[in-house]
Structure 1
Amino acid sequence: MDFAAQADVTRETFWTISPVGEALFYGLAAIASLVFLYGVYERFARYAKGGEDPFDRLSDLPGRTVRAAKVVFSNEKQFKRDRFAGVMHAFIMWGFLTLLIGTTILAIDIDVWRRVTGSSFFVGDFYLSYSFVMDLMGLLFVVGVGMALWRRYGVRHPRLWGKHTGFEDAAFVWTLFFLGVGGYVLEGIRIVGTDFPDFETVSFVGYFVALVFDAAGMGQGLAQTLYWFGWWSHALLALAFVAAVPYAKPLHMLTSFANVVTADEKAGTRLPKVPADTPPDEIGYVSEDDFSWKAMLDMDACTKCGRCTDACPAKASGRNLDPRDVILDLKAYRESVDAGGDSIDIVADGGTSVVDAESMESCMACMACMDACPVDIEHLTHFTEMNRRLTETGQQQEPVQEAMMNIFQNGNAFGDPQRKRPDWTDDLDFEVPDARDESVEFLWYVGDYPSYDERNRAVARSLAQIFEEAGVSYGILYEDEGHDGNDVRRVGEEGLYEMLVEDNVDAMADCEFDKIVCTDPHSYNTFKNEYPEMDDSFDYPVYHYTQLVERLVGDDRLGLAGDELAAQTVTYHDPCHLGRYNGEYEAPREVIRATGVELAEMPRNRDQSFCCGGGGGGLWMDHDEESKPSEERLREALDDTTGGVERFVVACPMCATMYEDGRKTGDYEEAIDVVDISELVVEALDAKAAATGTGADTTPASAD
């Protein structure tokens, strides 16, 4: 194609628009841009007035930006848990970005290139390629918006409707729809009005629309008239959308990316400390002035998608908690105060407050909401600040206050004397090494429930037997072991948590060991992620017991053949603090498979595991709920899992406690057994010994 021919392959951008109309458009575009820029400035100026965040959110900014780009542009979090929404959002986002880039390219050609060079690059092959890509991606955009409309108004997905659903939500999605469809209508009218140029077939959607209009009797004259009205309608809607971005729901297009950039990758697994000089009456969220700039960015990044609501086990159990509503309640309150409204309590038990205490008490600290959130909102940090406020004002549930007092006075939530902590060792036929008296490789932190709870003492004994069988160099602290503090911190008792950290660090400092192994994932999490933040000297490698046992199995130190319990079918429940908190999913499964059982996965597994209800102080609280989370999980194991599950395997003492309770209250005692992985391994060792006639029987002399 020669140059002259290529020059004919293009379209007139301001077709039917007079020079006066063109000037008016540029004037309106300038106004819309100024309104947009002022809104962005005002928004970030408000963040600058927020409190300082406890963590460095801007370290390694290039690396953070690359990570955010990967998360946002891949739509990986949108696909997680909801494939329909993932496809929908990918189509909308990539379609919108392509149309935005296309519009920018056109503006560069008209306002820069032509003025500098006196020619246009918007011709020939470039124009044909541009038109095809714009039509293709615009089609995906319209399809994506159509999917959103269908889910919102056709299916009426429950999570898209709530007390914070309003006009801006409808206006946002319908504006996108009219912008997308309107573009094709304009294109079709223009093609009719310019007498169907042959090269415009590359605009396959617009050409099809033009054929429909032509079949309906539209002529060139009518097309020219309609195009003028359509062009101005489309332009005004687009400019209004641009101007509205910083003031309404479209803001999330900016704040979501910023929120992912500034996210704390350990959010939830570690919590911010309370500054040492903070007076008690200022701890937690007292007023809107306590929101850090990152907290406000969290609120503005929320798109009301409701993924956290769907994932929340407290919400599913009928408790008074909707994670999305809590974040949006805080945002609405902040905006109300900014507009001159009255200040009220952020959180309180009864009376007028932004968030009710019952909502915070309902949280299980399972982090399902944060895992489901596509824009990295740190719900648990906000919840903990409100729990701290409730604690400082004495508004926590009485059972929680009793547990805190027991921990303060006796070092455990049961209120039993510390001298009874090692009593679980009495029924073993060997001596458990004392890490205070001898150097060991692994300091074994046994934990409260395996030490005091009758059901979980069997877990402690089973694990001790495994260590003995494998010849592990280990020892325990006996009565010098104190509560780990993980859940103490999550119910808001920061002062008590700091005391526990100090006591445990001091006790461990008197011992010679290389690594720490924990029975409880809650202990594992706080030792691994939080103690080092509290005390720089605490720098030991920390393991959950399943990680150590997996290594023992891999090194053949237990001698399991992998078929000892072949007749059993089991399912495994991922503990929140081991799975979602710390990403360990495979070690427990490898150990389970090593016993020879058939492992059947529940529909909700790994990072989508459904919480037992014991975290965040749930073991200490009373709740009015439709059904216990533990009952729902056991039902899932029995009714929704293929393979005829006989046993429900856990790797957390708190989970064992909750599911044993769920078996009773849910009437599942005859249907399924609850067994810890350590107990399963001991059964396999016993089966091996019985089959070979060698080795000592590992069954404890007096099992609970």
Structure 2
Amino acid sequence: MIVPLQAAETPTPTRETFWGISGVGEILFYYLTALVVVVFLYGVYARFARYAEGDEDPIDRLDDLGSRIVAAARIVLTNEKQFDRDLYGGLMHSFIMWGFLTLLIATTILAIDMDAWQLVLGQESFWVGDFYLGYQFVVDAMGLLFVVGIGMALYRRYWVRNHRLWGRHTSSEDDLFIWTLFVLGVGGFLLEGLRILATGYPEFEIVSFVGWGTALALETVGVDQSLATTLHWWAWWSHALVALAFVAWIPYAKPFHMLSSFANVVTRDENSARRLPGIPADLEATNAETIDDFTWKEILDQDACTKCGRCSAVCPAKASDRPLDPRDVILDLKSYREELDAGTTDEQSIVADGGTSVIDAETMESCMACMACVDSCPVEIEHLNSFTRLNRQLVDQGDVDPGMQDVFQNVMQDGNTFGNAARNRADWADPLEFDLTDAREESVEYLWYVGDYPSYDDRNKKVARSLATILEAADVDFGILFEDEKYDGNDVRRVGEEFLYLELAGHHVESFEACDFEKLVCTDPHSYNTFENEYSEVDFAEFADDPMMPFEYDGYWNADGEVEVLHWTQAVEELVADGRVGLSGTELEYTVTYHDPCHLGRYNDEYEAPRDLIRATGCELVEMPRNRANSFCCGGGGGGVWMEFDEDPKPSEERLREALEDTDTAADATVEKFVVACPMCMTMYEDGRKTGGFEDDLEIVDIAELIVEALGKEDVATGE
């Protein structure tokens, strides 16, 4: 009788977790793991305990915490900020982050299966069969992405030597971080290849395609099954010790950004920079005398910095060789704090003009408050909050640029930055063929805040007359405050003069309350920003009883947004859309480019209204390479319009060069007009046109001037 042969039983897809490791080895591994967890948790505790020593943050950053966490998870998991203006960097970070998270989740699943499911609950392992096969395939696929991402990082850092990654704070810590990740990624696949080779290539392990390929490569170079078994033990312990050391290291060095960055995104202020936090009414309060004057969020900002250099790359001050690198300011504060806590340095001034200090006054004077650093930061560091705190300290100490001192004096005495008489504020309107309405005496639809530069600067007076002509042509009921209008305070606040800003804000809200109007319209984006985002944040009741404050208003102004605040381009764009301006069929036929003002664009996300108006005049609009949120500052913000700097090139000169040399136009066309929508931009670019030698190459015009030319009323607007 012939007995048929039975097929060999196919092994169930799974593997022994501690294959090749003795029982003593397992115990030792668990002991080391427990020790590492303790070291890790203590490090995290110490970090967050240090934040608690910082000052209280004036903004509630933990309200609606669930929604904050969900929103932060979306931002972090999509890597949307990393992809912004950097596809290579976005892909690199995505590969590393998703690969790392997958490996972390895979390790966690394995621990649950062994230590909870089997050991505690007494169940059979679920790490078998199809689950095991799927697990191994996903881990290999995502692990490969992780290694590719690390390779991309190494290529960018060491081969290309991307300028963003190298600076004063670049250190061996950065090298150790990236190379440790590389060793973990490559070492994991080497370990897997050795195991597959040592166990005789189990057929189901082909799903571990990277490990399988590694095993084949090892065999090709002469590693047999016996040697693979021996090498596996050494590789297993090497990989385990590096992994455990890395976990223990996380809270004490650069890897902590994996936790602090997420916390920073959770606690971010979506209105950061466009609204600065107020200062306490307590005159005894300090701004930046010590490191603990910084709020807990500002200290968290310091720990969240990954040294990626995105803020440095977009900073116009750094590009102009001013002594400011936003990354260095944040990291200088962090280094000083850590050295002070460790007792390796003596306490010193945080910021000062000359002498020994952490930050030099000239560094902070260089900031243009353009918000480019805040906008570009992938981990939501709020640079301008810390910078403003430093500027306020400089004001408290009297370490203020002489040009700014003159401006402060002018505003205190005359209510404007020019030091001209308040009674002359509306003289710009004298050449007009119509009279302006006094909004203090009559009801108007638009209360027009003209601003300092359109009121007193000869070049910007033409812009003011142009806008008045447009509103008159549209039959708009508008009026101004005449001598009751003062400087809005936006930029003196950003250079640290908070109390002068409060005086101006209190005066204006009382003036606004005394008028009957529907909409508040601003010529200057700086005015628009502070009226829209900051005046409503001030609790005037805290200061109304102070004899130094010349106002009696004792509440929040426009807290519910009942007053609509508009930049003039937004208001006029509505009028054009309603057919009230009369631009239909107009053709100016100029080739122009448009510069996005920081306070209108990055600060307030208004990009389309100015462009719609330019196109409505018939001009051909071509975009500079840096446009919209990536616009390059004119150099006038943050008090820059009033200070002198040793810089080359000037930001305004660099921007005009970009308009002429880097902007793609139609064949045989050149940019004829450089269009602005901000009085400070007008001032800076008219200066840059002269100093940069561009006077014969292009003309600086405001959008309002294009519109009045399209309407055929330019003679009235210019006063001719």
TM-score per shorter chain, which class? over 0.9
Asked whether the 8 Å contact 2:624–2:658 carries over to 1, the reply is yes
Query: How far 1:82 sits from its partner (Å)?
Result: 1.5
Q: How does 1:262-273 map to 2 (within 5 A)?
A: 262-273=267-278
**1:526-585 superposed Cα distances (whole Å, 9 cap, x missing partner):** 0000000114133421000110111111111112125421x2110000000001001111
Asked whether the 8 Å contact 1:441–1:515 carries over to 2, the reply is yes
Q: How does 1:95-174 map to 2 (within 5 A)?
A: 95-115=99-119, 116-174=121-179
**1:213-271 superposed Cα distances (whole Å, 9 cap, x missing partner):** 11112111000000000000000000000001100000000000000111111111111
Give the secondary structure class of the aligned counterpart of 2:471.
Answer: helix
Does residue 703 in structure 1 map to residue 707 in structure 2?
no
Match of 1:492 in 2: 496
Gaps of 5+ in 2: 1-7, 541-555
Distance 2:68 2:12 in 1: 46
Q: How does 1:407-446 map to 2 (within 5 A)?
A: 407-446=411-450
**1:69-126 superposed Cα distances (whole Å, 9 cap, x missing partner):** 1111110110112111111100000000000001101111111112224311111111
Match of 1:647 in 2: 673
Asked whether the 8 Å contact 2:462–2:718 carries over to 1, the reply is no
Query: How far 1:703 sits from its partner (Å)?
Result: 3.2
Match of 2:21 in 1: 17
Distance 1:191 1:492 in 2: 65
Q: How does 1:574-653 map to 2 (within 5 A)?
A: 574-643=596-665, 644-653=670-679
Instruction: Work out which of the residue numbers 268, 289, 302 in structure 2 matches 1:286.
Output: 289
Does residue 334 in structure 1 map to residue 337 in structure 2?
yes
Match of 1:193 in 2: 198
Letter in 1 for 2:171: G
Match of 1:691 in 2: none
Q: 1:370–1:5: structure 2 CA closer, same or farther, 3 Å change rule? A: farther
Distance 2:586 2:80 in 1: 38
Gaps of 5+ in 1: 687-696
Once the two structures are aligned, what percentage of the paired residues are identical? 65
Q: How does 1:62-77 map to 2 (within 5 A)?
A: 62-77=66-81
Does residue 666 in structure 1 map to residue 669 in structure 2?
no
Match of 1:548 in 2: 571
Worse-superposed segment, 130-139 or 211-220? 211-220
Query: How far 1:394 sits from its partner (Å)?
Result: 1.2
**1:563-609 superposed Cα distances (whole Å, 9 cap, x missing partner):** 421x2110000000001001111111111111111110000000000
Distance 1:368 1:134 in 2: 38
Asked whether the 8 Å contact 1:349–1:395 carries over to 2, the reply is yes
Distance 1:375 1:555 in 2: 42
Asked whether the 8 Å contact 1:189–1:210 carries over to 2, the reply is yes
Using structure 2 for the length normalisation, give the TM-score: 0.94
Match of 1:371 in 2: 375
Distance 1:602 1:698 in 2: 27
Distance 2:35 2:166 in 1: 34
Q: 1:562–1:212: structure 2 CA closer, same or farther, 3 Å change rule? A: farther
Match of 1:537 in 2: 557
Distance 2:397 2:132 in 1: 67
Give the secondary structure class of the aligned counterpart of 2:185.
Answer: helix
Letter in 2 for 1:295: E
Match of 2:305 in 1: 302
Query: How far 1:700 sits from its partner (Å)?
Result: 1.2
Asked whether the 8 Å contact 2:294–2:386 carries over to 1, the reply is no
**1:164-222 superposed Cα distances (whole Å, 9 cap, x missing partner):** 11121111000000000001111111111111111111111111111111111211100
Note the aligned Cα RMSD (angstroms). Answer: 1.2
Query: How far 1:273 sits from its partner (Å)?
Result: 1.2
Distance 1:118 1:658 in 2: 74
Give the secondary structure class of the aligned counterpart of 1:699.
Answer: helix
Distance 1:617 1:81 in 2: 28
Give the secondary structure class of the aligned counterpart of 1:138.
Answer: helix
Distance 1:189 1:563 in 2: 75
Give the secondary structure class of the aligned counterpart of 1:15.
Answer: coil
Distance 2:680 2:233 in 1: 69
Letter in 2 for 1:236: L
Asked whether the 8 Å contact 1:7–1:124 carries over to 2, the reply is no
Distance 1:418 1:6 in 2: 94
Query: How far 1:432 sits from its partner (Å)?
Result: 1.3
Q: 1:111–1:442: structure 2 CA closer, same or farther, 3 Å change rule? A: same
Match of 2:50 in 1: 46
Letter in 2 for 1:677: I
Match of 1:454 in 2: 458
Distance 1:549 1:588 in 2: 9
Give the secondary structure class of the aligned counterpart of 2:50.
Answer: helix
Give the secondary structure class of the aligned counterpart of 1:303.
Answer: coil
Match of 2:364 in 1: 360
**1:260-312 superposed Cα distances (whole Å, 9 cap, x missing partner):** 11111111111111111132xx5321111202111110100001111100010
Asked whether the 8 Å contact 1:442–1:517 carries over to 2, the reply is yes
**1:496-538 superposed Cα distances (whole Å, 9 cap, x missing partner):** 1010011111222211112101000000000000000114133
Match of 2:553 in 1: none
**1:617-672 superposed Cα distances (whole Å, 9 cap, x missing partner):** 00010101111000000000000001121110000000000000000000001101
Asked whether the 8 Å contact 2:466–2:718 carries over to 1, the reply is no
Match of 1:690 in 2: none
Count of paired positions: 688
Asked whether the 8 Å contact 1:182–1:234 carries over to 2, the reply is yes
Q: 1:394–1:131: structure 2 CA closer, same or farther, 3 Å change rule? A: same
Distance 1:53 1:5 in 2: 67
Q: 1:285–1:532: structure 2 CA closer, same or farther, 3 Å change rule? A: same
Distance 1:450 1:7 in 2: 84
Query: How far 1:8 sits from its partner (Å)?
Result: 1.9
Distance 1:283 1:563 in 2: 57
Match of 1:685 in 2: 711
Distance 1:6 1:648 in 2: 76
**1:108-165 superposed Cα distances (whole Å, 9 cap, x missing partner):** 1111112224311111111111111111110110010111111111111122111211
Distance 1:219 1:494 in 2: 74
Asked whether the 8 Å contact 1:400–1:620 carries over to 2, the reply is yes
Match of 1:276 in 2: 281
Letter in 2 for 1:554: A
Letter in 1 for 2:609: A
Q: 1:7–1:47: structure 2 CA closer, same or farther, 3 Å change rule? A: farther
Distance 2:605 2:127 in 1: 50
Instruction: Work out which of the residue numbers 324, 328, 350 in structure 1 matches 2:327.
Output: 324
Asked whether the 8 Å contact 1:447–1:523 carries over to 2, the reply is yes
Does residue 239 in structure 1 map to residue 244 in structure 2?
yes
Distance 1:512 1:8 in 2: 82
Q: 1:105–1:7: structure 2 CA closer, same or farther, 3 Å change rule? A: farther
Asked whether the 8 Å contact 1:6–1:125 carries over to 2, the reply is no
Q: 1:562–1:301: structure 2 CA closer, same or farther, 3 Å change rule? A: farther
Letter in 1 for 2:42: Y
